[in-house]
Amino acid sequence: MNLLLYGAPGSGKGTQANMPRSHFGIPHIATGDMLRAEIAAQTDLGRQAQPILAAGKYVSDDIMIGIVRNRVIQPDCVPGFIMDGFPRTVPQAAALDDLMAALGKRFDRVIYLKVPVDDLLHRLSGRLVCPTCQRTYPPGTARCEADGSALIQREDDRAQAVRPRIEIYLEKTVPILDHYRGGGLVSEIDGRGTIEEISRHVLAAVNGRMSKTQKTA
């Protein structure tokens, strides 16, 4: 089972990855989380990426393609994976096609979490995150419900970075939807509602695809 989670910053990709991850027992590959781990560990890549993330811009395609290439060949990816945050540009989408073909894999479904821009701006501004498990919370929350960690604000959720992130998403990332729509792979899901409601829709979209595959197999 290989799933691609697609959506704008703040659309809920990280939150919605939890359900298929536990349901199918496959890893969640989140390029933003990987970059933040590099920053926290103060690696060369982390030092290079930190100001780019803080400004809400995109890290270069070459770097991102290299990171993903190294990740998908790890043994835990053999049964499948959930890709989140990649591809974000047309060249990244083309590179991912090549990578999947080389691995003999294909995406079973592209889950598009659709949220209007006004809601995205509202959700991201002031959003808090658990530094331990990456769960997100609304402004004013003190601690993570899951592990009790004190919540922090991501540097790129500060007001000055939020609008550039949405703008770059609209310019560079929206065009890749057409790339996947052509293959009939995209399930568009309303990203507004409770986490549980949206998860039900995600699971239904994934299962719909599975039963179709089984019928034609």
**Residues annotated as catalytic (active site), given as ranges:** 13, 88, 127, 154, 165
Instruction: Name the minimum Å distance from CB 215 to ligand ADP.
Output: 34
Give min distance, CB of 99 to ligand ADP, in A.
13
Per CB under 6 A, the list member of 111, 130, 156, 201 interacting with ligand ADP is 156
Instruction: Tell me how far, at minimum, the Cβ of 35 lies from ligand ADP, in Å.
Output: 5
Number of residues interacting with ligand ADP: please give it, by CB under 6 A. 18
Q: What token pair was written down for 192?
A: 């507004």
**Lookup: tokens for 173:** 């990332």
9 phi and psi, to 5 degrees?
A: -55, 130
User: Closest separation between CB of residue 138 and ligand ADP, Å?
Assistant: 15
CA distance 120 to 135: 17
Judged by CB, which is closer to ligand ADP: 2, or 31?
31
Show the tokens assigned to 178: 């057409």
Contact predicate 120/166, CB 8 Å:
yes
Footprint (CB under 6 A) of ligand ADP, residues 62-81: 64
Which of the ranges 30-38, 69-77, 112-120, 195-203 carries the binding residues for ligand ADP, by CB under 6 A? 30-38
- DSSP summary character for residue 156: G
109 contributes a contact to ligand ADP by CB under 6 A: no
Question: Does residue 130 interact with ligand ADP by CB under 6 A?
Answer: no
The Cα–Cα gap between 201 and 6 comes to 14
How many helices and strands in the chain, by DSSP H and E?
Answer: 9, 7
Helix (H, G, I), strand (E, B) or coil at 30: strand
12 makes contact with ligand ADP (CB under 6 A)? no
Q: Which is nearer to ligand ADP, 38 or 209 (CB)?
A: 38
Question: Is 134 a residue that touches ligand ADP (CB under 6 A)?
Answer: no
Task: Establish whether the linkage from the previous residue to 91 is cis, with ω within 30° of 0.
Answer: no
- What is the number of the residue whose Cβ is closest to ligand ADP? 32
What is the rounded CA–CA span in Å between residue 55 and residue 59?
11
Beta carbon nearer to ligand ADP, 16 or 31: 31
**Residue from 12, 19, 39, 88 that binds ligand ADP (CB under 6 A)?**
88
d(CA 58, CA 171): 12
Side-chain-facing half-sphere of 127: CA atoms under 13 Å: 23
Residues that bind ligand ADP (CB under 6 A): 9-10, 31-32, 35, 52-53, 56-59, 64, 85-86, 88, 92, 156, 165
